[in-house]
Every structure is written in structure tokens, then in C-alpha cells.
Amino acid sequence: MVAVMIPRASVKADEGMWLPYVLDDALFEEMQSLGFNLTRDQLFSFTENSLKDAIVSIGGCTAEIVSPQGLMLTNHHCGKGRIQSHSSVGNDLLRDGFWAESFEDELPNPGMFARFLVRVEDVTAQVSEVLRDDMTEAERNMAIRTKSSELEDAAVAGTHYNATLRPMFAGNEFFLFVFETFTDVRLVGAPPASIGEYGGDTDNWMWPRHTGDFSIFRVYSGPDGKPADYSTHNIPLKPRHHLPVSIKGVKEGDFAMILGYPGSTNRYLTSHGIEFNLDNYYPVRIDIRRRKLDIIEAAMAENDENRIMYASRQAGVANYWKNFIGMSRALKHLDVADTKRQQENRFSGWVNADAGRRAQYGDLMQEYEAIYAGMRQFNSQNYIFMEAMASGPANLNLAGAFAGLLELLEAKDKQEEVATMIARLRSGVDRTFRNYNAQVEQQLWAAMFEEYYKRIPHKNLPEVFQTIERKYKNNFSRYAADVYSKSIFASAAKLNAFLDKPSARTLKNDPMFVAAQSVNNNFQQINGSLQEYNTRLARAERLYIKGLREMNPEGLFYPDANSTMRLTYGTVSGYYPADAVYYNFQTTMEGVMEKEDPTNHEFVLSEKLGTLYEKKDYGPYAEEGVMYVNFLSNNDITGGNSGSPVINGDGHLIGLAFDGNWEAMSGDILFEPQTQRTISVDIRYVLFVIEKYGNAKHLIEEMTIVR
């Protein structure tokens, strides 16, 4: 079976990030046959309260409402940045955990939001009215942007809602999404890292898993029930729906459904794209991320201050460092490119059988070849830039943000705009230096500039590298030391003093600003040259998906994930990862104990958890004396689904999705039904940790517990 082309005659559970608001009858009937017991309106409705009203986008992750007072669950790794922001050496919530005893103890999180889907509208017809076949891609994109703004504005006029128009199927269809966004979200509870991150990078993407990956927040509204910025006068949200929480447990073969906001998949990627990524995308990102991690992790091991300061950043770099390794390995091991070639050959055969199809699609595969051949000439410079510069040393991004200020200062008659710009830049200064160690950032500066120098063809290097070569003889450590000793961007005090009395001359002569301007301008030039191929690729992808759907008019298709709400359904199930090896669908507290290793920070066991295990003090959450920790289902998820609820056939919460499995890391490109699994934390383990470890039974008493 090839992903995203599913014949109606053989509807397949597990694969598919389905749009729940246009769910096909065959899919719904399949759900019912597997054990789904609710009606369509109970699943998803714009007029009645439904499951969709408990599903929350929190930006990069998903969460769910589990009480009539706005209590919200998500993963620990999704809440880690917020937990870190409240942590210090003397009050280490990352290490020790946190449990608010009352509403007043809950901690505000500026910048965090909880977004609820209000309604969706298929606006393909309206957008198509402004599109013509003879448009260039630039003209087409401009027409779509203009129409999108018009439709978005009209959809929320006179309301407090916000709207976004999103393309589906690479721009063959368009949907308008209307949201209600709450901005007062407070931290309520989190287990210590020894539970919430148990296994660390070693166990990331792996099964068997023994991680209590959850954190707890609460959404607040104004007294009128509408969104409001943080205020002591705000009240806990009264949600349209909250998920009942089941402690009945799971069995193999049980129905399991996930509603969430998956971020990005590429299921229509061709064999040409896979081969390009294996050569040009994954290797550079893996290598550069590893070098960043070596610097950051060494600093974190030095003291608690660094550990807390860089915890969230390390996790973000490490997560997709390992993902890229697994993706590359799985693509090769499963020979996904060959599977895609078979699909492409069938497509070419269908095209060549008809003159009209040949006129429309006949050159499509050759076009793909030409596009990727053109991209290869840039030696992965865009990916190297993203890793080494755009997400490298914190000071470089900060300095780059001051380019607009220089333009205003040189204009001389823009004083009001200068004041506005300075206010915005000060917030960036605060964010940068909130979690900042000058020595670590200086090491990152030296390492990332060296990586850039080694990996980019000399003729394409930014001008700043001429200075490094001439003045510092390519000694990148000496270059970084000089830059950090002289730049206003290396110190919050110096930078704020500059903003008090900004000077174009000071900015233009600052070594960090000069470097940022040099690499950013160079990247814009290279990216401009790449734009031709990106434009052609967008058109080719749109045509290919259109053709595939025409070739299989009776097939069921789903669009790639794009951070819009999706549904995936299937069953609880184990799998065979290799010959003669079977993985059971559940893990237990016994496995937590077996992995304990006091010499490895990733497997240090909490003393209190060990005591609870010894006493078998599990409360009502064990099953015949066994405390289950994680379980598997064959649901189809990707990044962005972290924190999504795993829901049983009665609409009750049974777990929180938090990971995929190593053997099927190519799943974003091709779903592997035999091996692809979602790893979730059993909701009973979550409740056990809350009540018995956190002594926070009052939080469970808020929930609707189904026994």
C-alpha cells in the first residue's frame, strides 16, 4: 500500500491524518466497526458541544481540557520551556517538580496561548475564482494572499476570534479556520524530570519506553468568559467540553483515536526528493546539531545554573537531531525511495495512456529531476545556514534583528518609528539574556562559524569570512573571543545602554552586527537563486497530487499535516520490530526499576517513586497489582501531536501521545502499517503520579473519572 492513496474497498485504520470536519462515510463506518460508540456530532460539531471542543493547540504541541474548570494536560516536553522559566538554582521545578495547591499558587506564562477551533469552512471555490492557469507562481501566490486576507477579515469581523486560511493538497484546496485564543495559561503541575523525562535522549523515539511525559496547565478567561490577558481578576475557563478520564485500562485491540494538531508531513514526496534529502538535508543537520549539543551539554554538566538555563534549548536541538538520524536510517532500511518509484511508474503509465493527460502531466517526472539537480548546486547552503546561523549562537540572531533600526536611524526623520522599534527590540534583548551564558555562546559562535566555513564553497562565503581569514588566520576561537570582547550585543547592559542613545555609526561598526548583516545578506542572495527551484517545486507538487487524485477517483486521500486539526484512529497494538522479535503493547513500573542507573542522569530514579513502587502504593490506578506506564497504538502522528489525547471508543481519555517509534521514523514520508506506532503515557500512570507522588489529589477531584 502506498501512503495517501487508500482504495475505498479496503479502508485502512491507523494510516491517515484525516480532516474530522469532512470525514468520509467509509472512514466513520470503519471507526464504528473498530469500537467507536459516539455519533458524528459527538465527535465533531460546530453547533453542539463535541470532542473537538476539548482539543487545544498550544503552538507546536497539542493539549486537552480535562475538567469543567479549564484544567489542561499536555506533555512534559511541551511544557518544559514554561517549567524552566519558573526554575532557578534555589527553586528547581525541572528537577523537583511542581504542584500548585490552589488557584492562587498557579504560575502565569506570558506568551503562552490556548487556541480552540470554533469553525471551519471549505473556501476552495472562493479562492479558485481569483486563480488562472496562465498565472506565474508569484502571481498565483499574491492572488491567494490577497483573497486569504479578505476571507479571514470577513470571517472574524465584529468578533474576538482570529482566522487563518490554509492550503490543502499543496494548494489544490483551501480551508478557512476560525479560532478562539486564550492568553492567560498558568502552570498547575509537573512531575520531576526523573519521571517526566525518564530515559532522556537514550530512550527518545524508542520502545520499550517508561516515561511519565505530562504536565498540567489551566486556561483562564476574563470574568465574562472571553479571552483576556493575565489578571488576578480572571477566572478558570468554563469549557464547552472536557474529556472524561477513564481508569479502566487498555487491552490489545481496543479502539484508540487521536485528535490533535500534527505539524508537518511530506507523504507526497517523490523518490527524487527522498534521494536529495538523504544526500543534502539530513547529513548536514545531524552533524551541525551534534556539534551544538556537545557544547551545550558540556556546559549543562558543569553546574545547575547552566543545566536549568539550557534545558529547553538542549531538548529542542536533541529531539530532531535524533529524529534526522532515525529518518535517514529508516528511509534507507525500508527503501522508501523504491516504493515511491513504483508509485511514480504507475502514475507515468496512467499519464502516457491518454493524450490529454500527457499534455498536462507528461513532463512532470523530468521536471522533478531537473528541480533537484538545480538545488544540488547550492551545496545545502540553506540548511547549513538554518542550523549554524539562524539557530546557532543567540547573539547572532539578536544582532540581525537590529537591521531595521539602522535603516530608521540613517533616515533621520523617523524618530517616532525609532522609538517603536526600540521598544520592540528591548523585549528581544530580555528574551535573549534571560537564559544566557556568554562563555557558552562564544563557543557556539566559534564552532558555528567554523562549520559554515568548512561546508560552504569558498566562492559562496559571506564577506565576513574574508576578515576572519585575513585578520584571524581562520582561528575561529580567537575571532569569537575578539567579537565577544568588543560587541555591544555580548552584554545586556551594553545593549540597553546603546538603546538609550542609539547611534547608526556604533551599529555599523559593531563586529556582531557586521557579521549578522554579512551572513544574512549572503543568505538572501543564495535563497534568491534557489527561489526559482522552490517555485517550480511548489507547482510540480500541486500538479502531482492533482494527478494522483484523478488517477484514483474512488480513493480516499488526506492532505499532508499542516498544524490544522486532524483525526487518526486505529487500535492498541504491539509490533514486530525485527525478525523473531515482538514488542508488547504495554510497559510497567517493573521496567522503570530495571532501567534505573544512578551513574546516568537520564535514568536516575526518584527516591519517592522507588518507595511507592516497593510498597505497591498505586491507589486505584493499578490493574491487578500492576502499574502500567506507557502503551502503543497504531495511530498516525507526527511532531505537533505531542500532548494529543488518546481517546477510547466512548470518548474518554486513556493516554497522552508523546512519541513515535524508531523502526518507522520514515513515517512522515511513507506510513509503515506493520511497524509504525504511537507511544503514549497511560493516563492511569499520570493520575498515580499526580495523587501519590505529587500529593495533588485535588486536581483529580476536578476531573470526571470513569471507572
Q: Is 45 a catalytic residue?
A: no
How many angstroms separate the CA atoms of 84 and 310, rounded? 9
Task: For the chain, give the longest Cα–Cα distance.
Answer: 76
C-alpha cell at 672: 509503515
User: Rounded CA gap, 261 and 413, in Å?
Assistant: 46
Strands (E), 572-704: 575-578, 581-583, 586-588, 628-633, 645-647, 653-660, 678-682
- What is the separation of C-alpha 73 from the centre of its chain, rounded to a whole number of angstroms? 17
Cβ neighbours for 295, distance < 8 A, ≥ 6 positions apart: 440, 443, 444, 447
Chain centre to alpha carbon of residue 354: 42
The pLDDT score that the predictor gives to residue 359 is 96
From residue 534, give the alpha-carbon distance in Å to each of 40, 268, 527.
Answer: 40, 16, 9
Among 328, 563, 642, 666, the active-site one is 642
Q: CB neighbours (10 Å) of residue 415?
A: 11
Alpha carbons 398 and 421: distance in angstroms, whole number: 14
Distance CA 693, CA 602 (A): 19
Could you read off the pLDDT of 565-610 as tens digits, one per residue? 999 999 999 999 999 999 999 999 999 999 999 999 999 999 999 9
Instruction: List, for residues 371-412, the tens digit of each pLDDT value.
Output: 999 999 988 999 999 999 999 999 999 999 999 999 999 987
Q: What is the separation, in whole angstroms, between the first and last Cα of the chain?
A: 39
> Which pLDDT band, with edges at 50, 70 and 90, does 562 fall under?
very high
Q: Is 690 in contact with 700 (CB distance < 8 Å)? A: yes
Whole-number pLDDT of residue 379: 82
Average pLDDT of the segment spanning 256-268: 97
Helix 511-551 vs helix 464-472: crossing angle, to nearest 10: 140
Question: Cα dihedral sign for 87, 90, 96, 97?
Answer: negative
Is residue 215 annotated as part of the catalytic site, yes or no? no
**DSSP 8-state code for residue 88:** B
Strands 114-122 and 6-7: unpaired
Average pLDDT, the chain: 96
Q: How many helices (H) and strands (E) does the chain have?
A: 28, 24
From 53, 92, 203, 213, active-site residue: 213
Summarised one tens digit per residue, pLDDT across range 77-109 is 999 999 999 999 999 999 999 999 999 999 999
Q: pLDDT tens digits, residue range 17-76?
A: 999 999 999 999 999 999 999 999 999 999 999 999 999 999 999 999 999 999 999 999
Split at pLDDT 50, 70, 90, the class of 12 is low
Name the active-site residue from 76, 77, 242, 272: 77
- Could you tell me which residues are beta bridge partners of residue 216? 73, 189
**Phi-psi category of residue 158: left, alpha or beta, with phi > 0 → left and psi -120 to 50 → alpha:** left
CA of residue 487 relative to chain centroid, distance: 34
Catalytic residue flag (residue 133): no
| Contact yes or no for 330/666 (Cβ under 8 A) | yes
Judge whether residue 6 has pLDDT over 80: no
- What confidence score (pLDDT) does residue 1 get? 38
pLDDT at 244 over 70: yes
